[in-house]
Chains A and B, each alone.
Chain A
C-alpha cells in the first residue's frame, strides 16, 4: 500500500540523507521523494511516497519525528489533498508524424515546450494517473518515447471546506481527466476518477 508523507524539515545539509536512510533501515521502498523550500524560511518541505504494509503509517511517522531535523510530519490521505506531479516527455517526431502528438497534447492539456526536427518535448502537470495515461497512449500510438523525467508526487491538503463541498468532491471526480479511459498503471492507486468512495483504502 502506498503511503504519502509530507515532512517539514530543517534546511540543513544531510537532512535528505537522514530521511532516506531511515526508510532504508525500516526496509521500506521509497517510490518518489521530492523536496524544496516551504513557506517558512530555513524549512524545507519533503513529500515522500513509500510502499509499506497497511497500518505502518503510525510507525513511520513516529520514526520520522525522532529525527532531530524533522519539524512536522503529515501522513496524508488521498481525497482531502491536491496531488500533482510534473513530467517532461521527449518523443521522437518528424514533421510528418508530429501532428497526432499535438492532438494528444491538447487532450491531456500538456504543453509542447520543445520542437526539433527529430523530436518534441511535452510538459504535463497533473495527478500521476493522468501522466501515466499520456505515457500509455503515446506508447500505444507507436510513438517512440526517448526520455521521461518526473518530479515525483507533491501533495497539499485542501482547505477547510464546508460539508456540502466535501460531499460534492466525493461524488464528482476530484479533477478533470482526459476522455480516453485511464487505468492506474502506476500502482499508486490514484483511482480518483473511478472511485468516488471516500472509504477507498487509498
Chain B
C-alpha cells in the first residue's frame, strides 16, 4: 500500500472518479476492513483502493467474502462489507447474502456490473444480480452514474443497520466507476430512517404486558437474537433477576444472557435440553424478547406452550402473529420497551417456579448426559466440553452447520455477548471458516475457534489460504465422523438408517492444513483432547485439530418434525456417564 489520501473534508467538494467515491464513502462511513475478490467489471474500484486507508482481505471464493463480512458484523456489531465483480462473482455472493438475510445481519455488498450501455445484452459476465437478490436483501440498487454512488452507498448503510438489520446490495456499473463527479460526503447523507409505520408499544399494551408479567406464576423469558441487536442484555437480565424468571434461548440468542447464570436454562427447541422444553410447555407466560418463534424452536405449533399467555417484544411487525398468536405485542425496540416496563417491576422473593424448573433440570441432565458411554470412543460432546473448559468459556466460537453445531450449543457455555457466531436461519454449511476470519479481523485480540464438521469444512476450506495471507491466529476444530452427521441422524431416525449419500470421504485435514502452511494434529482419544487444545492455544499461529469422533452418534434430545415440544426423543439409557467429571453439573 502506497501513500494514502486524506478523506476529503465536507466543505470542499472534490472531483473524483466513481471508483474513488466508493472508497471515500466507505471510509466516511467508518469502514476499515472489507472482504472481496476482483474481476473485470470492478477493476476501476480496485485500482482506486491504494489511495484509501481501508484493509482489503482477498478471499478464495466470493461466498467466503460474504460470510467473512457476516462474521465481522456479528462479532463487532458494525456493518460488514463484501465486494465482488459482475456475473459469477456476484452470484457467488448469493448464499452468503441469503445467510445474512435469514439471521438479520447488517451487510453492504458491492458488485461490479458491466457498462450501463450494455445492460440487457447478455454481455460477458453480465447477470441481473439485483433481480436475483430481490428476495434476499432488504433493498438493492443499480448505480449507473458516478454522482449517485455516494448517496446510494450512504443510504445502503443506513438501511442495513436500521430497524431489523439485513443485507443490502449495491450494483455499480463500470461506467459509473469510471465517470467523474463531485464528492461531498455530508451532502450525500440519506434522509433519516423512517421507522416502520406499524410499530406500536402504546401505553395500554405496556400496562397489559406489565400486569401479565406481575401476575404470572410460571413465566419464562425467551431470549433471541434481537437482544444482541438492540443491546438489551442488561434490561433482560434485570427483568429476569427481579422476578426470578428463568431464561430460555434460541440458537442465535445464545450469549445474550450469561449461560452460567442461575436463571439460564440454555437453548430451547428441536435440540434443546429436555428441561427447557418441558418448562416451556408448563409455563403460564412466555416473554418473547427479539425472537421469531421459528419452527426449530416451537415444535408443532398446535400444541406449543398450551397454557401460556404470550408477550412478544419485536421490532419487525411482520413477525408478530406470524407463527404463534400472541396476547400482547409490543412492536418496537426491545431495549426501549423494557426500559418502559422495568420501573413497574419490583423485586420479588418468591422463587417457587425456579425451584420447580431446576428440579426438572436435575432429572433431565442426569438422564441425557450420563447416558453417554465412553469405552474408549471420542465423542464430540467431550471435545466441546473440554474446549469450553480450556478456554474458560471466553473464546469467540464460530460453528458450521450440523450435529457439531447443536453439541456446541449444548455444551459450550457462553457468558459474553456476541461470542457464538453460527448460521441459524439458513443453516449454511461452509459458514464457519470464513465467518471466523471475519470475526478475528473484527476482534483481533480475542481467541477465535472454528468448530466445523468434516462435510461443512470441505465446502470452504480454500479460505485456509486467506488465513495465511492475512496472518490470522485462528484455531480450527474439525469434528470428523466420516458422515454428513445430521443427515445421517435423520436417516437413522426417519429413513430406517438408509444412509443414502451421507458417508463422505475427506482429505487428511492435518495434511491439508500443512499444505497451507498451517500446523495441526489429529486426536483420537479423550486423553489427547486437552493437550491438542493447549498446543493450539499456546501457538500464535493458526492451528487445526482433526478430532476423529464416534461415527454414529446422535444429537439428543431431538424433537422430530410434527412432534410437540415435550415429545422429545431421548438418549437411550445406559448407566455410565463419562461426562460427569465431578459433583458439579457440566
Residue among B131, B139, B197 making CB contact with A65, cutoff 8 Å: B197
Chain A 57-85, CB-CB to B under 8 Å as 1, else 0, gives 01101110111100010000000000000
**Is A163's CB within 8 Å of the partner chain B?**
no
- Docked CA distance A147–B259 (Å): 68
- Docked CA distance A59–B319 (Å): 8
Given contacts A14-B130, A68-B159, contact A63 B318 (CB under 8 A): yes
Complex A-B, nearest 9 residue pairs according to Cβ-Cβ distance, in ascending order = A62-B318, A62-B317, A68-B139, A63-B318, A21-B134, A25-B135, A62-B198, A59-B318, A65-B196
Residue among A17, A59, A61 making CB contact with B134, cutoff 8 Å: A17
- Least CB distance, B204 to chain A, in whole angstroms: 18
Using CB atoms, name the residue of chain A closest to B163: A66
Residues of A within 8 A of B139 (CB): 67-68
The winner among A18, A58, A66, A72 for most chain B CB atoms within 10 A is A66
- Docked CA distance A63–B196 (Å): 10
B135 and A65 contacting across the interface, CB-CB below 8 Å: no
A65 and B134 contacting across the interface, CB-CB below 8 Å: no
Using CB atoms, name the residue of chain B closest to A58: B321
- Least CB distance, B444 to chain A, in whole angstroms: 35
A66 and B196 contacting across the interface, CB-CB below 8 Å: yes
Residues of B within 8 A of A59 (CB): 318, 321-322
Count of chain B residues with a beta carbon within 8 Å of a chain A beta carbon: 16
- Docked CA distance A179–B131 (Å): 49
Query: Which of chain B's residues 76-126 have a Cβ closer than 8 Å to chain A?
Result: none
Residues of A within 8 A of B135 (CB): 21, 25
A18 and B321 contacting across the interface, CB-CB below 8 Å: no
Residues of B within 8 A of A68 (CB): 138-139, 159
Using CB atoms, name the residue of chain B closest to A66: B318
Query: Measuring CB to CB, which residues of chain B are less than 8 angstroms from any residue of chain A?
Result: 130-131, 134-135, 138-139, 159, 196-198, 316-318, 320-322
- Least CB distance, A126 to chain B, in whole angstroms: 33
Residues of B within 8 A of A25 (CB): 135
A61 and B198 contacting across the interface, CB-CB below 8 Å: yes
Count of chain A residues with a beta carbon within 8 Å of a chain B beta carbon: 15
- Docked CA distance A157–B130 (Å): 35
| New A-B contacts (11) at CB < 8 Å, excluding given A14-B130, A21-B134, A65-B197 | A21-B135, A58-B198, A58-B320, A59-B318, A59-B321, A62-B196, A62-B320, A65-B196, A67-B139, A68-B139, A68-B159
Residues of B within 8 A of A65 (CB): 196-198, 317
Residues of B within 8 A of A58 (CB): 198, 317, 320-321
Using CB atoms, name the residue of chain A closest to B318: A62
Residues of B within 8 A of A14 (CB): 130
- Docked CA distance A68–B166 (Å): 13
- Least CB distance, A18 to chain B, in whole angstroms: 6
Write 24 A-B pairs (CB below 8 A) sorted by A numbering.
Answer: A14-B130, A17-B131, A17-B134, A18-B134, A21-B135, A25-B135, A58-B321, A59-B318, A59-B322, A62-B198, A62-B316, A62-B317, A62-B318, A63-B318, A65-B196, A65-B197, A65-B198, A66-B138, A66-B196, A66-B316, A66-B318, A67-B139, A68-B139, A68-B159
Using CB atoms, name the residue of chain B closest to A13: B142
- Docked CA distance A68–B156 (Å): 11
Residues of B within 8 A of A18 (CB): 134
- Least CB distance, B335 to chain A, in whole angstroms: 21
- Least CB distance, B83 to chain A, in whole angstroms: 22
Residues of A within 8 A of B138 (CB): 66, 68
